[in-house]
A = this chain, B = another copy of it.
Amino acid sequence: MSFLIGMDIGGTNIVCGLVDEGGKLISKIKQPTEAHMGSGYVFDKISRMIQELLQTAQVESKDVAAIGVGTPGFIDPVRGITVFASNLQWTQVPTAEEIGKRTDIPTFIDNDVRMYVYGEAVAGAAKGYEHVLGITIGTGLAAAVVNNGELYYGGRYMAGELGHIPMPEIPYTCGCGLQGCLETLVSATGIARQAREQLEAGRASIMNDWLNGDPVDRITSADVSKAYDEGDPLAVEIMNHTGKLLGKGLAYAVSLYSPDIIVIGGGAALAGERLFAPMREQLQRSVYKGYWERLTIAPAQMIDDAGIVGSALAAGRRLKELRGEAV
């Protein structure tokens, strides 16, 4: 029996999972990243996590075909390098090589959103669909495309920056330097930001009661969902506005990529229909009906595990490709 290891190195936590060749997650462990300790420290920790994972599952290292790693930021999957990951403070880190030499297992890396979407495409909500567009709405907004099991990369592996499409309706400046990027509004951060701004401007809302005099910074996107469920007009307005702008952005992606299904994941996607209903309404109005009529829209299925399973299966596939085997 051959196994794969999938890993998600985030700004806060590292999650590491053992996966069978069919994509079934057998067990996983989680530890804080402690990126401030430097990349060497993080790689040593990863090496110990893998040992622990194998020991617990009573699997020998030689039975693991490959390790797949998802990290945030700009990745060069071919050279195995994390080119730039702001929340890890990594620049030009040879992630694949560092993990490979500590474990003696072939290691592949890729962008975490691509791995998440790959997981959902081959083993999650989009399994069985040929043309998959996946997005994650978390701290930011990002997208990836999988056609017939193959990831779409574009030049410098930089395709899919749905979050950095400028929208005339958005007044915020983005960290990337552009004005009005979609992710400054359509994200957990963006939803919270809208609520905070309105509360600070003196807008009536049940969220004021919850704050009980605390600074508005305490308000999160989950609070907006909660207020929405209580019928709070401000929360309803924010969700409608955010969903509508997401629908506009997705219209561009649908007209350019022509997906069969859109899978939506990430923390803020937990808002579910509060966000999806206005998104769908706008999207239908903004794309040619030939796209809309055959489009499925589904929430992510594997949620927290999509990145791990995706990384593991993508690594298995890349190993086979390298060996010239059919994929």
Nearest residue in B to A253 (C-beta to C-beta)? Answer: B256
Q: Please, which residue of chain B has its CB at the minimum distance from the CB of A180?
A: B286
Say whether, besides A131-B154, A178-B286, A165 and B259 are in contact (CB < 8 Å).
Answer: no
Inter-chain contacts of A143 with B (CB < 8 A): 256
Whether, in the assembled complex, A166 has its beta carbon less than 8 Å from a beta carbon of chain B, the answer is yes
Would A290 and B165 be within 8 Å (CB), given that A252-B252, A256-B252 are in contact? no
Asked whether A256 lies within 8 Å of B162 as measured between CB atoms, the reply is yes
A164 partner residues in chain B, CB cutoff 8 A: 255, 287-288
B256 near A158 with CB under 8 A, answer no
Is A257 in contact with B178, judged by CB distance below 8 angstroms? no
Contact with B along A142-167 (1 / 0, CB 8 A): 01000100001111111111101110
**Given A165-B252, A166-B251, A166-B286, residue A260 in contact with residue B131 (CB < 8 A):** no
Complex Cα spacing A287 to B155, Å:
14
Q: Does A37 contact B (CB under 8 A)?
A: no
Q: Is A168 an interface residue (CB 8 A)?
A: yes
A176: Cβ under 8 A from any B Cβ: yes
Copies of this chain, how many?
Answer: 2
A256 near B259 with CB under 8 A, answer no
Count of chain A residues near B, Cβ 8 A? 39
**Is A177 at the interface (CB under 8 A from chain B)?**
yes
Chain B residues with CB under 8 A of A154: 131, 147, 257-259
- Among residues of B, the one whose C-beta sits closest to the C-beta of A84 is B290
Contact present for A255 and B162 (CB under 8 Å): yes
Partner of A131, one of B155, B176, B294: B155
- Pick 30 A–B contacts, CB within 8 A, sort by A: A130-B155, A131-B154, A131-B155, A147-B153, A152-B152, A154-B257, A154-B258, A154-B259, A155-B258, A155-B260, A156-B290, A156-B294, A158-B258, A158-B290, A159-B258, A160-B256, A160-B258, A161-B255, A161-B256, A161-B258, A162-B255, A162-B256, A164-B255, A164-B287, A165-B255, A166-B286, A168-B168, A176-B288, A178-B287, A252-B252
Binding site for B on A (CB under 8 A): 74, 130-131, 143, 147, 152-162, 164-166, 168, 176-178, 251-253, 255-260, 286-291, 294
